[in-house]
Each structure stands twice: as structure tokens, then as C-alpha cells.
Amino acid sequence: MTDMSMAVDIQEAPASLRLDAVSFEHRGQTLLEDVSLTLSTTGKTLIMGPNGAGKSLLMRLAHGLLQPSRGQVQWPAGQPRQAMVFQRPVLLRRSALANLTYTLKINAVPRAKRRALAQEALEHFGLAAMAKRPARVLSGGEQQRLALARAWLISPEVLFLDEPTAALDPAAIKAVEDAIADFHHRGTRIVMTSHDLHQARRLADEVIFLCNGRLVEHSKAETFFSAARSAEARAFVKGELVW
Amino acid sequence: MSTSGMTASALHSDSALYTALALVIDMDPALVDIVGLSLRVSLSAVLTAALIGLPLGAALALWRLPGRGMVIVALNALMGLPPVVAGLGVYLLLSRAGPLGELGLLFTPSAMIIAQVVLVLPIIAALARQLVEELWGEYREQLTSFGLSRACAIPTLLWDARFGLITVVLAGFGRASAEVGAVLIVGGNIDGVTRVMTTAIALETSKGNLPLALGLGIVLLSLVALVNGAAYVIGEAARRRLG
């Protein structure tokens, strides 16, 4: 398995994001080592792997929240509009509606337009009744939908989601997955981490598989789930413990 | 009823308490003047200290500059600055021979406000730094993901920490209204000009005019109780409403 073969496998659309020999070290420990990959401009990519594999880290490096210790993160066609949804949504200590108008404000949307756009997004995500409620007393599922609505408002070209359904019940998971499908239909590039194999099968167009801070596999979803090339990925797909 | 003619030596402490209550209830003009000046001085000082201290604390929370630790330790230490020392410092600055002597501020309410700003500013800045730093820990990734610079994040953080910060400002007000050393040194306790509650209590007690001293004590205590009650109510309401 080489980086070339992986690139050939998944590179149909033009490159959107390129990671070039990216490593990340923290306190002398290498948490991510020599990761090179290219993401196309469309589709849904699932970053998978056991705990501590470096999934969230890879996403934070791609989104620009962290800077790599070595290597480069590049957007060849220029920085796209991007948003990130976290495992535990970080909502401001304001009403649900105010959380959305805040996002519009920092994105320089004229004041007169903010309220209507925010209301529209709340309705789209089934939160219209919660508009005046403080965001942080909403249920976990509602909070995550609000975080998605917030991302929706800026029409991101790339949406990063870090285990967005890890702490949710099945109904809330369904709502989040539907929302992700909405983003996808609007043309947003989806990059998401998950350790839930069923969810990955439902959502993924392609899979990036990490293990111990290394990129082990990057292939189309059907290839990954039926005929993974690496022993670690095959074991992971079968639900075995992988180290 | 005027207090000036009152002969303190004739008063038993029980009757002193009654007389004091009567002074408060009848809104004795001498007492009202003193309370009014106290409020004017302390509120101006707290407002000024908050306008400087809140952004200063937030900036200290966000920036990682060399020497930051020293500044924080110094600020924390200054929270315990003895009022007489603050008073002495401001006295030296404002005295005829001092660097700001030409302003002629010594023994005016302005001098008292300056001295109290010196006392209150470290409290507000140090506690705001702590609160904002905690909140920044929670918000950092999300606000960075929004594309906000650290400087732009300050208003958001101050607003979202608002309930905690109100308590901080009230603590500053408590310190300002209760201290006696600084205003005594730079104000001079001039009757009708720079006499505030605490200096009046000290003076009237030493003169043996217990009713006025007690009356002022009652007002001061009520004020402090009111401030603390307000801090508690606001804190509880915030916890309940905003989660």
C-alpha cells in the first residue's frame, strides 16, 4: 500500500485539501506521523479508527485549529468557507436564536437580515419552538442540531464533524444524519470522524482509516468495508479490537 | 434634625442606636450628603476600574506573552494592597511636589476616585482574567473555528461571562465602599467636601458622636448586604437560566 495507490483510488474530482507529510507532536510524543492525503471537492469522508488513533487531531489540523509540527496542510484552490461541529457542541450563553444571529454578525451579514435567516435555519432544523430558550439548557440532540443550524447559516463548502453523534440517542442520531445529508445535497464537502461502523456504512463515500497516529488506509467506502487492504482495517471492520 | 449640636457624652449606647435609626429614617441632611458622596466616589471608581479592568483581564487571559505569569502574580498580589499604601502612593503622585501636583486634585473627590480605582482595578482585572480564561478554554476551538481573532473574541467572552463578571464588579464595589485608609489620606476627610461614610464613622466615633457613626454604619452595612444579595440573586438566576 502506498500513498500513490490510495490517491488513484479516490481521486476523481479536483483536489480540495492536500495534507503533505503532516506530523503532529505534543510534549515530545508523536500523535500523528507522516500523514499524506488528498481530499476531493465533493463527497462524504469518514475518518475512522480506534480511540487515540488521531482522528480528531487530523480533523483539527485540516480545519486549521492546530498547526502541524511538520508537513503542510494546503487548500490548492484557496481556503474554502468551512465550519466545524464538535462532539460536545459549544454554544454561547445566549438564546438559541441569539446563537445564530451571532454567527451571522461575525460573518458580516447586515443586521436587518439576521433575524429572518436565523429563524429560517431554526425552522429547517426543527428548532423553531426553542428560539427564545437559552441554548445551553436544550437537550443534547437539540444542542447538536443548533450547532448544525449555525454551520448551515454560513453555507460552508467544507463541513467538519467530530463524532457529532457520540453522545446522542437513536432519534437524535437520525436527525443529525439527516442534517448531514442536507448539507451534502447542498454541495457541502463532508469530513467526519466516527467510531460507529454502522453509521460509517450509512454515510461514507470514502474512508480514511487511522491507527496509532498513522494513515493506514484511504479508500472508497465499499472497498474499505468489503476488501480492506490492511490487516488492521479488516480487523476493525469485523469489530475486533485493534491496536 | 441636625447632628452638629448633639452632645455625645450624654448618650447611652442604646439611645445612640435609636438616635442613629432616627437619623436614617428622617434622612438627616448631613448623613444624606455623606452617603451621597460615598456612592458618587465609589461608583465612579468602580465604573472606571471596570472599564479598564475587564478588557485588561480578558486580554491577559488570551495572550501568551513573555512575563505574563509575573503580571498575573503581581495583579493577584495587588488584590491585597493595603488601602493606606494605595492612598500614600496616590498622595505622593498628587501632592504639590508630585508629578501630577499641578492638577491640584489632592483633597478633592477626584483624588479619592483615583485612589479607589487603584484599589479596585487589580481585583476586577485579576478575577476577570480568571473567569475569561476558564471560558476561553471552553470556547477557544469554536471561536477559532468561526475565524475570530483573539482580539475579536474579547467582547464575546466578556458578554458570555457577564453574570460572573457582575459579581466581580460588585466585589470591587464592596472593596471601594468599605475602605477608609485611601480616601482618608488623599481626601483629607474635609466636612462637606471629601467626607465619606467610612472616614466619617472613624471621625465621629473618635469624637464620641455615636449616633451619626452608628447611623452611617447601618447605611454602610445595608449597602454591603444589598450588594451581596444582588450578587447572589444574579448568580443563581444565571445558573438556572443559562445552564
Measured between beta carbons, the chain B residues lying within 8 angstroms of A106 are 146-148, 152
List, for residues A57-73, the tens digit of each pLDDT value.
Answer: 999 999 999 999 999 99
Is there a contact between B141 and A137 if contact means CB atoms under 8 Å apart? no
Count of domains forming chain B = 1
pLDDT band at A243 (very low <50, low <70, confident <90, very high): low
pLDDT the model gives residue A1: 39
Is A37 within the bounds of a domain? yes
Which stretch of A4-8, A10-14, A79-83 has the lowest confidence by average pLDDT?
Answer: A4-8
The predicted structure's pLDDT at residue A113 = 95
**A227 occurs within a structural domain:** yes
Domain that holds residue B206: 28-242
How many CB pairs (< 8 A) connect A and B? 37
Q: What is the pLDDT of residues B140-151, one digit of tens each?
A: 999 999 999 999
ipTM: 0.88
Task: Give pLDDT, residue B18.
Answer: 86
- If pLDDT is split at 50, 70 and 90, which confidence band does A7 have? very low
User: CATH no. for residue B120?
Assistant: 1.10.3720.10
Q: Residue A84: its chain B contacts at CB < 8 A?
A: 141-142, 145
Return the CATH number at A28. Answer: 3.40.50.300
Give me the pLDDT at residue B101, please.
92
**Residue A134 domain-assigned (yes or no):** no
**CB contact (8 A) between residue B138 and residue A90:** yes
Q: Does A232 map to a domain?
A: yes
Residue A59 falls inside a structural domain? yes
Give me the pLDDT at residue B6, please.
46
Query: CA-to-CA distance for B69 and A119, rounded, in angstroms?
Result: 45
Alpha helix (H) residue ranges in A87-237: 96-106, 111-124, 140-153, 170-185, 197-203, 221-227, 231-237
CA distance A107 to chain B (A): 9
A141 falls within a domain = no
Evaluate whether residue A106 is within a structural domain: no
CB contact under 8 A, B141 and A102: no
Q: Please give, rounded to a whole number of angstroms, the shortest distance from the CA of B133 to a CA of chain A.
A: 15
What local confidence, expressed as pLDDT, does residue A151 receive? 96
pLDDT, tens digit, 9 for 90 and up, residues B91-115: 999 999 999 999 999 999 999 999 9
Q: Does A65 touch chain B (CB under 8 A)?
A: yes
Residue B4 has what pLDDT?
45
Residue B156 with chain A: CB contacts under 8 Å: 92, 102
* Mean pLDDT score, A6-34: 78
Per-residue pLDDT tens digits for B157-172 = 999 999 889 989 999 9
Distance from the first to the final alpha carbon of chain A: 19
pLDDT of residue B13: 58
**Residue A83 touches chain B, beta carbons under 8 Å:** yes
CA angle, A159 then B152 then B243, to 5°: 70
Residues of chain B with pLDDT under 50: 1-11
Q: Which domain holds residue A207?
A: 3-87+157-237
Overall domain count for chain A:
1
Query: Does residue A112 lie in a domain region?
Result: no
Residue B228 domain-assigned (yes or no): yes
pLDDT value at residue A13:
55
Q: Is the pLDDT of residue A18 over 60?
A: yes
- Answer whether A90 sits within 8 Å of B144, measured CB to CB: no
Query: Hey, is the C-beta of B141 within 8 angstroms of any chain A C-beta?
Result: yes
Residues of chain B contacting residue A133, judged by C-beta atoms under 8 Å apart? none
Output the pLDDT for position B223.
86
Condensed to tens digits (0 to 9), the pLDDT of residues A180-216 reads 999 999 999 999 999 889 999 999 999 999 999 999 9
Rounded to an integer, what distance in angstroms lies between the CA atom of residue A17 and that of residue A157?
12
Cβ of residue B138 closer than 8 Å to a chain A Cβ: yes
Which residue type does A203 have? L
**Which residue is associated with the grid cell 450628603?**
B33
Does residue B178 belong to any structural domain of this protein?
A: yes
Residues of A in Cβ contact (< 8 Å) with B242: 93, 134, 136-137
B139 vs A65, A84, A90: nearest CB: A90
pLDDT for A11 beyond 50: no
Average pLDDT, chain A: 91
Alpha-carbon separation of residue A27 from A30, A51, A61, A112, B63 (angstroms): 8, 19, 17, 48, 21
- Judging contacts by C-beta atoms under 8 Å, the chain A residues touching residue B144 are 64-65
A162 closest CA partner among A243, A76, A48, A67: A48
Q: What is d(CA A74, CA B118) in angstroms, rounded to the nearest whole number?
A: 50
Q: pLDDT value at position B7?
A: 46
> Does residue A44 register a pLDDT over 60?
yes
* Residues of chain A contacting B160 with CB distance shorter than 8 Å: 92-94
**B158, B165 in Cβ contact below 8 A?**
yes
